[in-house]
Structure 1
Amino acid sequence: MGMSAGDERAASPRDEEWPEAEKAEKLARGAALKWASGVFYRPEKLEGLGHYRRRETQRNSSIQSRLKSTVQSYLEGVSAGLEQLRSAAQEVQSVCQDLGAARWALLDSADHFQGLQQMRELMEEHVQLASVVQVLPQIFSVHEVFSHILQLLRGQHLLEAHVELMMVEQLRDDILSQLHLRGLSSAQATVLSYFSGLQELNESLAKQLWDIVGSSLRLVREDPVLFVTAVRIIEREEKIDDTLLLEATFLPPGRPKGWRQKFYQVLQDTMTGARFHAPRMDAEGPGLAKHLAALQKDIVSELRVVKDLMVQCVPAHYNILSVCTATYHQALSSHLQEILREDLDKQGLFLLLEWALRVYHSPEMMGHPDLLPEVDVSALDPLMSSELVDQTERRYVMKVKASVVEWMQRTLDVEFKEWFKEEEPETDHQGFFQSALPAIVMQMLNENIQVASLITNTLQQKIYNMALEELEAFLGRLREALVQCGKEHQQDRAVPKYYISHLLAVLNNNLALSNSVSSLHPDTACREVPASLQAALDRMQKKATQLLLEELLLDLQPLCLQLPSRKWLSGSQLVGSMCEVIDKYAKDFSRVRKPVFTLLLAESELLVANQYLRALLQRRMVCKSREERGQLCHRLLQDATQLRELFCSLGLDRSQQSLEAVFALRELISLKDPALLSLEVLGFITKYPDVSDEHVSTLLDIRGDVSREVRHVVLEMMAQHPQLLPEGYRPIFSTILVPVQELPFCLRKGKCA
């Protein structure tokens, strides 16, 4: 529906004034049209038009009523606010009038205020003069009080002297404080000059206090009154210090005194006095032992006094027992480091380690029943740091090592001289040769290891490791001495006279050392001999065994040189003579203990077998007929059997003998059909894999009936079946060199020698 022109003119000014109203009206009309078009888009809906009109009329009436109510409430609030503003404006105007009147009144009274200021200054001056007049008697009596305090101090009436001293100090400090507050610093020098005697009295009192504290351990036992008095005075001064530091804006000269801290310092200096600054001590041990024993006695005695007596004479917050305990602990720690700077011998180092790590914590010192449980050093740092302990243990090990090396060298020198004496070595109750060397060496090493166990397990392990290293080095030097003795014996077999007996004693000694090494280890569960030391023991045994076998070889060689010969083939007693030599040495070998005796027998048997085979292979024989081969085989069988039975009778089992190689070699020579040699040789080299082509070729030569073709087949077969030495195999042929000779040895009576 449209509006008339008059309505538009009437609405124009309002629209200009309220543009939002026009916008709202347009939106409302648009919404209404949208709603009507949605409701009445079909003719049958027009029937409900009257119903919609009545509903909307009622709605509009309700909205208009609420709007009128809201506007009415708003207008009433605005009216009340305007009324309050009017009232406030009237009150402000009234206040301004009153302020103006007061201002004029104050301007009229300015002259009177100036008079009041002068009166105030006069009043302040009067108060000051009154204060001065009040303290004048005290000020005039200061020097008299000084004299009285001095008399009290000389008579050791310390509490009374301190009370008067505090009063004079309070007077001086009050005056200085007033001067400071009024900015009269120039006058302070005059006051300090007037009270200059205070400094001397303070120093005199302090000197007496520190003398008392310095004698506190004696005083608490004899007469604790003086000590308690000194502590009371110190506590008074501490309270004054605390009060001034917390409240005052001005610190008087000499404050804070810090006498409690000085008390601790004097007490600690007294406890760590001359005893911890002793002159240079004897580094050889006895002087150090005496010094440590004195320290132990004094510290226990003094801590007992502190615990039983001094604790009762001081406030609980002093923790005097803990302080004294820590003081002794730290002083001892520094003192031990100072002692360690000396070049201590092994006894001194041991004493120091034992004292610091064992005695110090034991019931004889800090664990004393009279000190427990109040004294507890477990919460403090170790007396010796782990680094210092390790360093000291290493120094001790080096000193022990030097002593061990020197002792072992002397033992070796004595042993070496014993070898060249004109008498046999001593024997044990079973008749085995021996010397005192193993007992001396092992006892020395074992004693040092056991002594180290008194300190720490780590030191014991260090000494154990050193002992094994030095024992290994000693075995090396002993072996060198044995080699030197062997060289001298080679030049003259009569020197030493009992050369073989001493070699057997060396073997028994070596076995004794080997059996004793495991007992050195501190832990019974870890008694395995180190590989390097076992190797040194093995080298020692091998060298002594080698020298003995060289002696046996020297006696066997003249007989072996007669192999082979016609005399030997014809049935001489050559092998019988060899058996006599072997039996003689076997009787000597029986003076050595069984494990080594068995080894000597096995090595001797191997030597005999090797020399026998060497003689056969290096001095080539050629059999010219079956009869000659039969004669040779018969001789080999008899010799090998006789030697085997000898060694069996001496206790060497057949399975351990190398003479079986002679029987196997005889089988090759006695084989009737040369065509079967390749098969026989294959079995031979399988059993004795160190046999070479040259050895087999020499054996074929000895037969004398092997053709070139058979030889080629045998050597070809060996080439196709290379042999590896099994583990634990004892070489027999590899040490036998077979030289090429132009003219082979033969059995023909007319041509053979």
Structure 2
Amino acid sequence: MDAVVSEELRGLKERAKSAAIADIEQRYSKPDDLDKLEHDIKRNIKKKEDYDSQLKTAVESQLDGIKKGVNLLKNAESEVKVVEKLLKEFAAQLERTPTLKAKIESVKDEFQRHKRLTTATNNMSYVFSAPSKIEEIRSLMDSGEQRHLLLVHKLLHELERSRDGLMLELHGQSCEADRDLLRAFFKDVPSLASALWDRLACTFSRVLDTAVQNPRLLVTAVRLVHREEQVDQMWLERQRRGGPGEFCPAGRPRQWRERMLEVMQAAVEARFEASMPLSSEDSEQWLEKHCILLQEFLRQDLRVARKLCPSCFPPEYNIFDFYLRSYHRCLESRLASLAKQAVANELQFRDCVALVKWTENFKSFFDRLGAEVFTQPQFNMEAERERLGLLPHFLQTDELDRLVRHSVGLISEQVWKWFKSTVEKEKHSWYQNPTGFQPERDLHTDTTYTSLVQSLSAILSEMMSDVSSKLPKHAHTQLSAAIMDKLVELLGSYSSAVREFVRDVKSEPDPSRRQMRIIVMEAILVASVNNLHKLILLVGTFYKPEDGPSDVAKVQKANLEQACQKASYEWNDFLATELLEFLQDSTFKELFTPAWLQQLEIGETEAQRIVGAVQDSYENVYKKMFPHLRSRLMNQISNRICLELLKALLQPGRQPFKEMRVAAANRLRSDAELLKDGFARWNCRADQFDALSAASELLKLSDMSMAELVVSAFLRNFPDLRQDQLEALLLLRGDCKRDEVRSILAYAFSEEEKSRRNPTARRLFADLGPVK
């Protein structure tokens, strides 16, 4: 080991010497550097002295620490020897301990006996006075005077303290006979405690009345409960510190505070039960009276709970929060029970609707009541509900939604019954006087209508003013949607009734009677179309702008308008069909025949007869419509007439005009202009008759090399024109063969020409059907 250290020292010296030589060579490499030699020698000698001094100090410090450590080790060695000696002596003494325990066992027994006697002596006065105290407690309880409650509790507490002290001394000892003796001696104490609680429970069952009439009695009862609560906490804390085996008196903890709150909760529930009517048959407005009674005693009770009860209870009891929570939850339970009865169809229609309204009324009632009770206008009942975990509408969200849906369903069913009755009454009036029925007339607009809209207006007015007012605002959207559905359903039923009536009129076997019934039918159809317009206006009046109709309501209103438009189109079609059937018999049969060409020379033409027939119907029937509805009807009639003319022109088997081609074309143009001018007078669209003018151009064309251009122009204006229709039209000329016609049409129906057609042009020939 020493050789290794010497070797390391030699190595250090060699490295230090080499480093010093290299440093000297670098410092004194020039002759001028020798002038600094003497100065550097002095400086290095001084530095060496400093290093030596520091080294000496460090070595001395280390030596002092080593000396101190050696001294401590010597002291520790001497102390260890002393401890070892003491341990040997203690071990020798422990060997004699078992015999010593047996010798002093009698002393231990004597000590325990002395201790019990000391405890008995200390409690002797309580023990001897126990029977007299029990009798005194009984006499005070039998007197029935509430002012003695504090004294009763004091005496009872002294008895319990004596009993518990003696039982504590016997705890853990094998002296069951002594414990049985004590239990027998104090056997009346538990029954006295129960009797005292019964007296207190009677007070707590009418806390609010007692707070008004005798607050001192209530304060006394609460003080006794508070004292018992403190005693419970003392024994529980003792048991917590001592562990599971620690002594705790029988019957503890009594939990009188929890039992007090249970009694008060039961009293609140009993008050709600007492306000419930025995039967809903006692009065038609039993639910409304019941809810008014609830509001009345809620206002009184919560005012007492807020203003009088806090001064009778400790602050930590939060007695007003207890009553607010209790009354609120009892009301929740009551409304939930009534809601279940409503959904189970155990309540009548008016009661279900009223119940939905009362959920909203009670919410606003509690909001107002909170401000009244606290006498603070800025009181926030919503925050109180959230803090206490109460429901804002007294029902769970799903229960409230279910009740609202059920009530809206009942309302819609009732509305549907009224609607059906209205339609049946309307239908009955048609058949009651089949040849003399006259609809009602509006002198301001000079239009006709039936009693349907007035009946619906009365129904909806009653529904919105009476029933809807009992529903909360969030249910109005559902009710509006349900009524809209029923109106659409009503419209379908009414349309079926109109359809059935039209079929019945058409099937009348007697021609003269049928003609009279047709006049009545037309009047009913016109009045029914006007009814649809009045219905749309009526529905619009029941949408309040401030309510902000939802998207669902807007969609359903649009659906109703669409259903009305569809029914209006169908009934207009009945009117147009009746007119066309008349024209079919009198006019359409002779169209595009030689007789038709000669009518310019003979007298009135078919076009003039058509215009005259439409004019008669317009003045006698159609004029009683609203202007925009009349324009819609005239558009349908003009379309139907134009289609009938085109159908007659392209009728299969029609003989070509040949040499009469130019005359037929001129006559066709003349009729088209006459019909167009005639229908233009009635404020309807008449440009569909341009198809007849375009057809006349094809018939009149003399140079067939221009046929492709004329056909292309025809297709641009009427893009739904089919090839078979154009082919039939060109073959009517009589100077073209089928192959020539098809070659002319080949270019017109090419893809290049199809791309040039006007996609927004009106469609007419699609309704004409194929030419066979």
| TM-score range for the pair, normalised by the shorter chain length | 0.7 to 0.9
Kindly indicate whether residue 523 of structure 2 is the aligned counterpart of residue 514 of structure 1: no
Query: 4+ runs of 1 displaced by more than 6 Å?
Result: 35-42, 51-108, 110-121
Query: Does the Cα contact within 8 Å between 2:356 and 2:472 map onto a contact in 1?
Result: no
Deviation per CA, 1:126-146, whole angstroms, max 9, x where unpaired? 454344234334313322211
What is aligned with 1:144?
132
Q: Which residue of 1 aligns with 2:617?
A: 585
Question: Which sections of structure 2, spanning at least 5 residues, go unmatched?
Answer: 240-245, 509-513
Matched with 1:600 is 633
Cα–Cα, structure 1 residues 269 and 728, in superposed 2: closer, same or farther, change >3 Å? farther
Counterpart of 1:659, as a letter, is: F
**1:8 corresponding residue in structure 2:** none
SS at match of 2:133: helix
Tell whether 2:634 aligns with 1:620.
no
CA contact 1:426–1:435 (8 Å) conserved in 2: yes
Does residue 462 of the first structure (1) align with residue 455 of the second (2)? no
- Per mean C-alpha deviation after superposition, the further-off stretch among 166-175 and 285-294 is 285-294
Look up the match of 1:192: 183
Report the Cα offset of residue 563 of structure 1: 2.5
Tell me how far apart the structure 2 counterparts of residues 208 and 183 of structure 1 sit (CA, whole Å): 39
Q: What is residue 424 of structure 1 aligned with on the other side?
A: 438
Question: Is the CA contact (8 Å cut-off) linking 1:658 and 1:732 kept in structure 2?
Answer: no
2:710 equivalent in structure 1: 680
Deviation at 1:683, TM superposition (A): 3.0
- 1:135 counterpart letter in structure 2: N
Residue 411 in 1 paired to residue 422 in 2? yes
Moved more, 678-687 or 463-472: 678-687
Deviations along 1:167-203, one digit per CA (max 9) or x if unpaired, are 1111111111111155534421221111000111111
Q: 1:514, CA displacement in angstroms?
A: 3.1
Q: Count the aligned residue pairs.
A: 716
Deviation at 1:547, TM superposition (A): 0.7
Give the C-alpha shift of residue 557 in structure 1. Answer: 0.7
Q: Which residue pairs with 1:341 in the alignment?
A: 340
- TM-fit CA distance, 1:431: 2.7
Structure 1 residue 204: Cα displacement: 0.9
Distance 1:727 1:195, change over 3 A: same
Q: 1:678, 1:80 → 2: CA distance?
A: 133
Partner of 1:554: 581
2:338 partner letter: I
Moved more, 524-533 or 110-119: 110-119
**Under a length normalisation based on structure 2, what TM-score does the superposition of the two structures give?**
0.79
Give the structure with higher Rg (CA): 1
1:356-386 deviation per Cα after TM superposition (whole angstroms, max 9, x unaligned): 2233333786346245448944333212222
Q: Deviations along 1:312-339, whole A, 9 cap, x unmatched?
A: 2222222111110001111211222222
What are the superposed Cα offsets for residues 636-656 of structure 1, whole Å, 9 maximum, x if unpaired?
Answer: 45544444443344x236x63
Tell me if structure 1 keeps the 8 A contact 2:716–2:758: no
Matching of residues 266-665 of structure 1 within 5 Å: 266-273=263-270, 275-276=272-273, 278=276, 282=280, 286-342=285-341, 343=345, 344-362=347-365, 366-367=369-370, 369-373=372-376, 376=381, 377-379=384-386, 380-382=389-391, 383-422=394-433, 423-429=437-443, 430-441=445-456, 444-445=459-460, 448=463, 451-452=467-468, 455-492=471-508, 493-494=514-515, 495=517, 498-523=520-545, 528=554, 530=556, 531-559=558-586, 560-568=588-596, 569-570=598-599, 571-575=602-606, 576-587=608-619, 588-618=621-651, 620-625=654-659, 628-629=660-661, 631-633=663-665, 635-636=667-668, 638-649=670-681, 651-652=682-683, 656-665=686-695
Distance 1:484 1:685 in 2: 41
| Matched AA of 1:355 | W
CA contact (8 A) 1:664 1:684 kept: yes
Q: Deviations over 1:500-539 (max 9, x none)?
A: 0000011111122234444444547658555543332221
Deviation at 1:405, TM superposition (A): 2.0
Kindly state the Cα deviation for residue 36 of structure 1 after the two structures are TM-superposed. Answer: 9.3
Helix, strand or coil at the partner of 1:427: strand
1:366 and 1:375 in contact (8 A); partners too: no
Distance change (3 Å), C-alpha of 1:143 and 1:244: same
Query: How high is the TM-score relative to the length of structure 1?
Result: 0.81
**In structure 2, what is the equivalent of residue 12 of structure 1?**
none
Distance 1:425 1:181 in 2: 106
User: Aligned letter for 1:620?
Assistant: R
* 375-384 or 521-530: bigger deviation: 521-530
The unaligned stretches of length 5 or more in structure 1 are: 1-15, 740-753
Is the Cα–Cα contact under 8 Å of residues 727 and 742 in structure 2 kept in the other structure? no
| Matching residue of 1:178 | 169
Change (3 A) 1:24 1:680: closer
- The structural deviation recorded for 1:573 is 2.9
What's the secondary structure of 2:678's corresponding residue?
helix
Partner of 1:5: none
Aligned position for 1:135: 123
- Aligned-residue offset at 1:695: 3.8
CA separation in 1, counterparts of 2:79 and 2:704? 158
Q: Is the 8 A contact 1:691 1:734 kept in 2?
A: no
Letter in 2 for 1:580: G
Deviation at 1:347, TM superposition (A): 2.7
Q: Which amino acid is the alignment partner of residue 500 of structure 1?
A: E
Q: Distance in 1 between matches of 2:738 and 2:297?
A: 103
Structure 1 70/139 Cα, relative in aligned 2: closer, same or farther at 3 Å?
Answer: closer
Decide whether aligned partners of structure 1 residues 188 and 55 sit closer, same or farther in structure 2, where only a CA change above 3 A counts. same
Query: What displacement does 1:457 show?
Result: 4.1
CA RMSD of aligned residues (A): 4.6
Contact 2:203 2:221 in 1 (8 A): yes
> SS of 1:360's equivalent?
helix
Cα distance in 1 between the residues matched to 2:11 and 2:291? 111
1:726 aligns with 2:740: no
Change in CA separation of 1:645 and 1:484 when aligned onto 2, cut-off 3 Å: same
**Partner Cα distance (2:431, 2:121) in 1:** 115
The aligned amino acid for 1:551 is: E
**Does the CA-based 8 Å contact 1:637-1:666 persist in structure 2?**
yes
Structure-2 change in CA distance of 1:585 and 1:733 (3 Å)? farther
Instruction: Tell me which residue corresponds to 1:208.
Output: 199
Distance in 1, matches of 2:448 and 2:311, equals 75
Report if aligned partners of 1:213, 1:263 keep a CA contact under 8 Å in 2.
Answer: yes
**1:584 partner SS:** helix
Q: Quick one: structure 1 residues 663 and 465, their matched pair in 2 at CA, closer, same or farther if it must change by over 3 Å?
A: same
- Cα distance in 2 between the residues matched to 1:93 and 1:475: 118
Match of 1:255 in 2: 252
Tell me which protein shows more helix as a share of its residues. 2
Given the superposition, is the C-alpha separation of residues 87 and 725 from structure 1 closer, same or farther in structure 2, using an over 3 Å criterion?
closer
Alpha-carbon offset, residue 104 of structure 1: 12
| 1:658-696 Cα distance to aligned partner (Å, 9 max, x none) | 333333333433444455444434333433344444444
- Which 10-residue stretch deviates more, 312-321 or 687-696? 687-696
Q: Supply the distance in 1 between the matched residues of 2:302 and 2:475 (Cα, whole angstroms).
A: 31
